[in-house]
Structure 1
């Protein structure tokens, strides 16, 4: 059997890319065919000739060793089952790699920006995964601020800040006025009043994402998950979303082990969870509304949460952090977030009191919870 290797490359173009976009001629062609149902219409959409698209199909069928299209004169072109599986698998793999693709693209953009303008401001940011932050990076770039964005779980992002691997960290928490031993135990040791400064960034809706049911409205809570037969796909330990789910289960008196898949292999981003559900590997999982809508999933809201940025006190008045706050305070930031369902920016750019913004800070059993 012929070995088919993966060949990676990148190029500099006048137009940019977003999120998990990775161009590949085979998958671009298959997507166009699936979308238009015709080789001729696909060729028109691609700005290519019918002969070119037909030749490309034959080339890729030879490379893959499998037929890709069912085609009969006068009938719509249909992808073969193999091509459909290939397209679905590639999309899920690409989605799972989103945080790493974005980090690599940011690093390459940084290198190019330094070559073109050595005086550009640079800010290294480790942050919990969010669909709004790439938009923030684009706005910052327009103001000569390059954000080196790397996605990590909330706990890992705060640890990176403590270890000096970044200047700003991003994490998210709900208000939780009644306290939470889960959040306090995980985050309190990494945040110190007087040492860290909290900056408002955005507010978003967290909930459960499910495959579409056709019903006008679905009601589902974490209490309904045990014994439901629904396969759960979770986020990785240390992520803010995993902390949220652990907190909600604790409040509902539900054991994690009673939910099928809760403790199994996790995903590292909202989009990866959504892709797993859309691909049939799971039935339900936690995530933000914007990720659910992107994959055509149902969304059951559970709670609103604030996404904060945090830096050391000494860095608050540095030129890169002041430039970041200026972008957050600009009208362009909430305008950009309007493209994402479930998002708002009520305190964007404001320096907030850490103990007031995080009311669970004084939860008395936090130390005991952390020990446990």
Structure 2
């Protein structure tokens, strides 16, 4: 069975054809000119090149492409004729899709050739406000277009990707006042080092219980989830919300195995909300926006900060500066404030790690005592 593989050409003079294949072009030239030499002249190629290409295609496809009758000009074989027909049929049927793909590719590569455009790679804990930011940044008409390449992963994986050089920014979230002995501190402190990392302010958001419309079980706290035997759906290990949940359970003196469904998890806030909306669970921890989008009620539990971390070396790079500038605009902050459960907080500002992450406390160095005179 022969398979089709698509290629595209990137050059200043790629031509106007939406999609090209050298074999149909060779076959069409032979059919029109009636000879290999005529086809070569029409394509501005050497006779040797065209002859060799046709022979290689015959070997690869396992069939004769050109036939010569005694005293007659070169003609396409039945196999060659069918190949040319199939290519024309496919292009005719797929012309709209091919044109759309062609336009998308040209738009995407236009960014690479635009000296004023910036691309910023961001690994981040799942957050709908970031998706809103991506759309806002890509709006046409900006003097310096900013394209955010966002990949949603767990908070821990996001910071790991930053430290391994796979992204420029990492998005993660922590509660406002996490203690030095909290799971939050133990999770993030080994990965973030003062002097190496910098934090950029982004947003304050609310996390809480996503429950069915009307909150039929009357859930107000995690203790209520345990007391009522409500079916809970969790987030996976490595996600910031899983870290948050474990800290909240520890603060309430609740063992993880007391939560029915603690071992079941979904990959995002949206997936948790969908599980509750579908009746597969009674509650899950997540953001208000995801709950409202699925027609659920939302019970706020805790305020947290969503941070953007970067290496100090990339803080003043053009793409990072473009993002910091965008985050500080009144237009973006007004749009963020309109998102349920969100509020702008130090948007675009470079923040002291010891202030934002309270487990980082630096003792002042004591002055050295003068030595005794000998």
Q: Give the alignment's TM-score, normalised by structure 2.
A: 0.64
Aligned to 1:133: 130
8 Å CA contact 1:155, 1:187 repeated in 2:
yes
Q: Report deviation, 1:286.
A: 0.2
Q: Secondary structure at the match of 1:244?
A: helix
Matched, 1:121 2:118: yes
Q: Secondary structure at the match of 1:291?
A: helix
8 Å CA contact 1:204, 1:307 repeated in 2:
yes
Aligned to 1:297: 296
Q: Structure 1: which 5+ runs fail to align? A: 1-107, 364-372
**Residues 264-316 of structure 1: CA deviation (Å, up to 9, x unaligned):** 2x111111100000001100000011111111111111011110001000000
8 Å CA contact 2:337, 2:344 repeated in 1:
no
Q: Secondary structure at the match of 2:359?
A: helix
Matched, 1:336 2:331: no
Tell me how large the CA RMSD over aligned residues is. 2.1
Tell me, in whole angstroms, the C-alpha distance in 1 between the residues paired with 2:284 and 2:105.
34
Matched, 1:189 2:190: yes
User: 1:359–1:111: structure 2 CA closer, same or farther, 3 Å change rule?
Assistant: farther
User: 1:260–1:218: structure 2 CA closer, same or farther, 3 Å change rule?
Assistant: closer
Matched, 1:166 2:167: yes
8 Å CA contact 2:194, 2:353 repeated in 1:
yes
Larger Rg belongs to? 2
Tell me, in whole angstroms, the C-alpha distance in 2 between the residues paired with 1:214 and 1:352.
39
Matched, 1:148 2:149: yes
How many pairs are equivalent? 254
Tell me, in whole angstroms, the C-alpha distance in 1 between the residues paired with 2:178 and 2:215.
36
Tell me, in whole angstroms, the C-alpha distance in 2 between the residues paired with 1:281 and 1:205.
24
Q: Secondary structure at the match of 1:150?
A: strand
Q: Structure 2: which 5+ runs fail to align? A: 1-102, 363-374
Q: Report deviation, 1:203.
A: 0.8
Q: Give the alignment's TM-score, normalised by structure 1.
A: 0.65
Aligned to 2:306: 307
Q: Report deviation, 1:227.
A: 4.1
Kindly indicate whether structure 1 or structure 2 has the higher relative contact order, using CA contacts under 8 Å at least 6 residues apart: 1
Tell me, in whole angstroms, the C-alpha distance in 2 between the residues paired with 1:123 and 1:300.
35
Q: Report deviation, 1:218.
A: 4.6
**Residues 13-68 of structure 1: CA deviation (Å, up to 9, x unaligned):** xxxxxxxxxxxxxxxxxxxxxxxxxxxxxxxxxxxxxxxxxxxxxxxxxxxxxxxx
Tell me, in whole angstroms, the C-alpha distance in 2 between the residues paired with 1:177 and 1:282.
29
8 Å CA contact 2:219, 2:225 repeated in 1:
no
Aligned to 2:222: 222
User: 1:137–1:110: structure 2 CA closer, same or farther, 3 Å change rule?
Assistant: farther
User: 1:311–1:262: structure 2 CA closer, same or farther, 3 Å change rule?
Assistant: same
Q: Report deviation, 1:350.
A: 0.4
Tell me, in whole angstroms, the C-alpha distance in 2 between the residues paired with 1:306 and 1:194.
21
